[in-house]
Structure 1
Amino acid sequence: MAEPPLRTNVVALLVHPDGRYLLHLRDANKPIPSAGLWSLPGGHPEPGEIALVRQSPASCWRKQTCASPT
């Protein structure tokens, strides 16, 4: 029997110097895992994007959010 393909998920723990951290609230009105719960920002990268994440999480953050991670 063939092995199922591996799925990659990328998350980030962003902590402010004063101790606050960034979470996002998952949409409670969609049929998604953990709907209505708080979670770390992240997701499933498109093919080829995992190399970008491994090389520079800050670059990936800027690309996805148009914001600086500092």
Structure 2
Amino acid sequence: MDKTAGEAIGDAAWAALRARKPWSGIYGVTSTGIFCRFGCPSRIALRPNIRVFPAPAAALAAGFRACKRCGGGV
């Protein structure tokens, strides 16, 4: 897994994630290697561990796997 892949989460995306609101793209958690859709009911990770990707294919290419709760948009 490439922990530098994707982009660091911005303030607006972080607010959407904390409110569990839909947002364009998906996010990966570097500490677990899992990616989720915004709005996933799973526990929210620490902000420094979150990377944002435009699509599930980009997260898969970086070595992340889809969330088993939300499917990660796959």
How high is the TM-score relative to the length of structure 1? 0.30
The structure with higher relative contact order (CA 8 Å, sep 6+) is 2
When normalised by structure 2's length, the TM-score is 0.29
